[in-house]
Amino acid sequence: MSDGGVNLGGVNLDDFGDHIERPSARLRRQAEERRARIGVPPKALGRLDEIGAWLAAAQGRVPVTPVERPRALLFAGDHGVASLGVSARPAGGATALVRDALNGTSPAAVLARQAGVPLRIVDLSLDCPADELPEEVSRYRVRRGSGRLDIEDTLTEEETERAFRAGMAIADEEADSGTDLLVLGDVSVGGTTAAGVLIAAMCGTDASVVTGRGGRHIDDLTWMRKCAAVRDGLRRARPVLGDQLRLLGAVGGADLTAMTGFLLQCAVRRTPVVLDGVVSAACALVGQRIAFRAPDWWLAGQASGEPGQAKALDRMAMEPLLDQGVTVGEGTGALLALPLIRAAAALAAELPTTTD
């Protein structure tokens, strides 16, 4: 790793700042000018106009084209910190959640099926034998479970590079296959604790400010254990705050590290992404620190109710599309936002202008 903290085994974070461009401001203006020539009164479509203009700029064309090839992508992993009792689910319990998704019985699987969206699950660090899962799920696995962030690095330096590169490779696969919108979520136990550490470190806040109740609304005693774990992880995160790869390796685990690489590479490849909850927001916040233009390629699908997510989105000036009190995670909130985004694209594409 370089002294400047921007290089790990050939991954040069400065490259992202050089290669990521914002969606076209010129085309966004053209989309807004076209909208002004549509017979529907100004502001009558609310945020649908904003989403349509964002998609036009991301696609590089006016009028925007309908969203035709979206995909939901879930990064999966178990976190060693879950052994402290910081979650309503047992340590190592993410594997059961993944099996439910693969069997089509999880909330995300039901919503993806209803929307006609392929659902892809990527195991980065589940705590089970790799051969218990389909090869296409486990082929990017970095390790079995991530380390305990309160007392040790969650990943070695080599594992950090592998996880980050895995996320980049997955983004390239999706872009090369013609995916035009990605819905991002996580399947983890202990992941919101890791996310809380990252957000507190990035925002310079205390553990209690970012520690929420999780997807299953943990009780007060569990919340106190979680808050203590975030506090201890924060002590380990602050010394490496200026080196985002070391930060991810110290406290993020394989799944969050891969999600960060994925988000940044999606921005390089000009592929828009819909974020779900606090975990994807934490990774996006780290991504913003690496490349400040990258968040222009991402939308916040929903407000999860997690204080850490609200803190991260505020720092990135993102306003969630939905606030329905959905806390289950696993990409469900972002999937719920997908019909809204598709509707915005269809309206922007099909409503005639006064000159048509």
Report the catalytic residues: 330
Instruction: Give the end-to-end CA distance of the chain in Å, rounded to a whole number.
Output: 57
Query: pTM for this structure?
Result: 0.94
Flag whether pLDDT at 7 surpasses 60: no
CATH 3.10.450.50 fits 7-18+69-342, yes or no: no
Q: What's the pLDDT tens digit per position in 14-72?
A: 999 999 999 989 999 999 899 889 888 888 899 999 999 999 999 999 999 999 999 99
pLDDT at 214: 67
Q: How far apart are CA 245 and CA 170, in angstroms?
A: 18
- How crowded is residue 178: how many other Cβ atoms within 10 Å of its Cβ? 9
How deeply is 352 buried, as exposed, middle or buried, from its count of CB atoms within 10 A (0-12, 13-18, 19+)? exposed
pLDDT at 215: 60
Q: Which amino acid is at 287?
A: G
Flag whether pLDDT at 187 surpasses 70: yes
Distance of CA 30 to the CA centre of its chain: 29
- How crowded is residue 219: how many other Cβ atoms within 10 Å of its Cβ? 10
Q: What's the pLDDT tens digit per position in 75-112?
A: 999 999 999 999 888 888 999 999 999 999 999 999 99
Domain ranges of the chain: 7-18+69-342
Q: What is the mean pLDDT of residues 170-190?
A: 97
Give the model's confidence band at 241: pLDDT under 50 very low, under 70 low, under 90 confident, else very high: very high
Q: How far apart are CA 116 and CA 197, in angstroms?
A: 35
Q: How far apart are CA 271 and CA 167, in angstroms?
A: 14
Give the model's confidence band at 277: pLDDT under 50 very low, under 70 low, under 90 confident, else very high: very high
